[in-house]
Structure 1
């Protein structure tokens, strides 16, 4: 398999999407990829963060994770984006990062990259599919090659989302992190992305 670079770029407030991103990194690395795990910059005011102990703790726990930069997109052969749902849409923090990519897009620096997405919501019908589809709108404009997990592994029949790995975290005191089956789905999705990117890279090299 041709060696590939995979960037996993995410936003997480209380740690759920962070856990999915870590599992995705494991899956891509297992497929032989070189991985950059990157969080996007937190934009919420300190008083909002401080009002939620889990949010404040997560910010502290992930202080050593490097923030995403445009160089991570240029470097990557494949990109996985992770975001919690926000009213059925992409979190503002991730969208703000995406909105800085215009120059790179105009230069053709995002065309032909393999792309995929994963998410989490508080409730079972909290907009998981619409959030992933919203990210796909960006991928269309980039000229990205969208690789969803589909039903390409038995784990997908347990987790049930062919659009991209997703987790119902719950709200308030009932909130919980992703279980092992969801983490396995994230690993599978990232492996599929890395393997597709590797096959595409090898094919391009052979036809050059």
Structure 2
């Protein structure tokens, strides 16, 4: 069977969402997918970044991660988007990337792909679910097929979010539960996408 192409496109300031994105990439690869891990362009002013040592360090640590482009979306059979929460919504940098995708959408190149999302916030009730649901609004417009993790693995009962993997950054870096939830979510995306591709080919 033809492998599934998965793009994992994320924004991360200090590394929390990057860690979830890496775990998702691991899960997708172990499920047999071809994976592109891509960050979106940083839009914050240098003075804001330099005021936060963790932000500066993360930019240095991920300098080798390629930036997302339209070709990554065109190539992908499935896309996982990751973002920190900003007042209950996706971060501006991720939204800015999404807002450039009109030409692909107009050509129908974003329809019929599988989409899923994951998020992080500083506090336990900081808008993780609303951020994931907000990304869903975009997937609807694209004509996408949304695949959430649901409660399809025991780890979801520990991570507590059927919408998409989420993590409370104020508790520290993602631990085993959050990382395994991200891996499971990506595996589920790959398996569902593979089934769709096989069904269409038949």
TM-score normalised by structure 2 residue count: 0.99
Alignment length (residue pairs): 202
Distance in structure 2 (CA, Å) of the matches to 1:176 and 1:79? 27
- Tell me, yes or no, if the aligned pair for 1:80 and 1:116 is still in contact at 8 Å: yes
Residue-by-residue CA offset, 1:169-203 (whole Å, 9 max, x unaligned): 11xxxx51100111000000000001100110010
Distance in structure 2 (CA, Å) of the matches to 1:200 and 1:2? 12
Distance in structure 2 (CA, Å) of the matches to 1:125 and 1:182? 16
Residue-by-residue CA offset, 1:95-136 (whole Å, 9 max, x unaligned): 000000000000000000000000000001100010001000
Residue-by-residue CA offset, 1:26-51 (whole Å, 9 max, x unaligned): 00001000000000000001100000
What's 1:197 paired with? 193
- Tell me, yes or no, if the aligned pair for 1:2 and 1:199 is still in contact at 8 Å: no
TM alignment of 1:21-100, pairs within 5 A: 21-100=21-100
What is the root-mean-square deviation of aligned Cα atoms in Å?
A: 0.7
**2:194 alignment partner, SS class:** helix
TM alignment of 1:118-137, pairs within 5 A: 118-137=118-137
What's 1:159 paired with? 159
What's 1:106 paired with? 106
TM-score normalised by structure 1 residue count: 0.96
Q: Cα offset for 1:15? A: 0.0
Gaps of 5+ in 2: none
Q: Runs of 4 or more off by more than 2 Å in structure 1?
A: none
Distance in structure 2 (CA, Å) of the matches to 1:165 and 1:104? 27
